């Protein structure tokens, strides 16, 4: 118990440090000379937390520690903010260097929109974590049954047999989601089942890009029309708060309203500190 607290404390200190370092990078009065290095620096904590997600004892679908997920999403948002500020500080001619680094992250970002969109999702997750753990082994069977991949599916896993994200992949993905949702609904109830739909998708890379409503319509002859509708309930979680948090990155990356004046940097750092300490254990 003590060692767990220490790990949490250490990770918080690390997040705080990384947040300040990335702020130092992005709030510099001028665009940094080593622009690729600075861009990579934005992902320092993200990379660490990503590894934590991969090495977690339980998978995301199936009872992963809520603190691990929380730390990951914070690191993700910090990275997005950091890159956005770097772009703001640098002239357009130099954006390609940033975008090279950003590009590697972009694929992941699409898969994380729903998951890390707001803190209420994680609060909700923490409440249902123990039951999702209980339903875990059966939920994991769903991946084996429907995706039939040799790779163990952990987090943003590339399902290599379906590199092209084709229709067949999306059909199998929908079946997997349905299978997990049904299992969680059976074991834990409706609310956790809705949540499980959001948790399953980021486990498989690119699966968030499937248009599940199209597949559902195609499968209507064999399935009841209401199957899988919960996938769309999840849109609730990607409402205004996400749009606010990612303003200037989702729609208009080059035109963020954040300018690199010291006072704005100060406010941003206060905001980040508040964000970090919001989840402090009581
Ligand atoms: C969820 O489970 C309940 C009770 O086990 C059942 O009545 C209900 O139809 C299920 N809902 C869905 C969408 O599967
Ligand atoms: C999915 O397909 C339906 C039907 O073609 C379309 O109306 C909807 O806009 C699509 N959704 C997305 C997110 O592309
Ligand atoms: C950037 O945003 C400002 C106002 O927020 C707007 O007037 C301007 O046209 C935008 N520029 C571009 C390139 O989108």
Tens-of-pLDDT digits for all 282 residues of the chain? 556 677 777 777 776 776 666 666 555 447 898 988 999 999 999 999 999 999 999 999 999 999 999 999 999 999 999 999 999 999 998 898 888 888 777 767 777 888 998 789 999 999 999 999 999 999 999 999 998 877 889 998 888 655 555 778 888 999 999 999 999 999 999 999 999 999 999 999 888 888 888 777 776 655 444 444 333 333 333 333 333 333 333 333 333 333 334 454 555 566 655 666 665 554
Number of the ligand 2 atom closest to the C-alpha atom of 214: 2
Q: Do the beta carbons of residue 77 and residue 275 sit within 8 Å?
A: yes
- Alpha helices by DSSP H, listed for 28-135, are 35-41, 44-54, 66-89, 95-112, 119-134
How many A from CA of 113 to the centre of ligand 1? 27
Nearest-CA residue for ligand 3 atom 1 is 255
Is this model's pTM higher than 0.75 or not? no
Q: Note the pLDDT of residue 21.
A: 65
How many A from CA of 210 to the centre of ligand 2? 10
Task: Give 133: exposed, middle or buried? Use CB within 10 Å, 0-12, 13-18, 19+.
Answer: middle
Which ligand is located closest to the Cα atom of residue 218? 2
How many A from CA of 142 to the centre of ligand 1? 18
- Cβ(255) to ligand 3 under 6 A? yes
Distance separating alpha carbons of residues 139 and 130, to the nearest angstrom? 14
How many A from CA of 250 to the centre of ligand 3? 15
Cβ < 6 A, ligand 1 pocket: 182, 185-186, 190
Which ligand is located closest to the Cα atom of residue 186? 1
Which ligand is located closest to the Cα atom of residue 185? 1
Q: How far apart are the first and last CA of the chain?
A: 15
Q: At CA 111, angle to CA 107 and CA 115, rounded to 5?
A: 145
Q: Note the pLDDT of residue 108.
A: 75
- Cβ(213) to ligand 2 under 6 A? yes
Q: Note the pLDDT of residue 271.
A: 62
Nearest of 76, 26, 38, 33 to residue 266 by alpha carbon: 26
How many A from CA of 174 to the centre of ligand 1? 18
Q: Note the pLDDT of residue 252.
A: 34
Residues in the chain: 282
């Amino acid at each position: 118990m003590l060692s767990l607290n220490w790990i949490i404390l250490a990770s918080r200190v690390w997040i705080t440090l990384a947040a300040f370092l990335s702020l130092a990078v992005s709030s510099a009065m001028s665009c940094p000379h080593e622009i690729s290095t600075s861009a990579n620096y934005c992902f320092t904590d993200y990379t660490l937390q990503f590894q934590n997600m991969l090495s977690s004892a339980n998978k995301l679908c199936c009872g992963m520690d809520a603190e691990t997920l929380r730390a990951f999403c914070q690191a993700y948002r910090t990275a997005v903010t950091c890159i956005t500020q770097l772009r703001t500080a640098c002239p357009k001619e130099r954006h390609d260097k940033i975008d090279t680094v950003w590009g590697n992250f972009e694929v992941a970002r699409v898969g994380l929109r729903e998951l890390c969109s707001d803190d209420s999702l994680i609060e909700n997750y923490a409440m249902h974590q123990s039951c999702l753990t209980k339903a875990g082994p059966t939920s994991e069977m769903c991946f084996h049954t429907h995706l039939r991949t040799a790779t163990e599916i952990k987090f943003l896993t590339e399902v290599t047999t379906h590199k092209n994200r084709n229709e067949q992949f999306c059909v199998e993905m929908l079946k997997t989601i349905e299978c997990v949702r049904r299992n969680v609904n059976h074991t834990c109830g409706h609310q956790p089942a809705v949540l499980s739909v959001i948790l399953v998708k980021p486990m498989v890379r690119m699966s968030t890009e499937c248009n599940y409503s199209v597949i559902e319509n195609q499968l209507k002859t064999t399935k009841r029309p209401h199957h899988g509708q919960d996938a769309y309930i999840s849109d609730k979680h990607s409402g205004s708060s996400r749009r606010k948090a990612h303003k200037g990155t989702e729609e208009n990356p080059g035109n963020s309203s954040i300018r690199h004046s010291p006072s704005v940097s100060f406010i941003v750092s206060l905001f980040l500190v508040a964000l970090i300490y919001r989840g402090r254990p009581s």
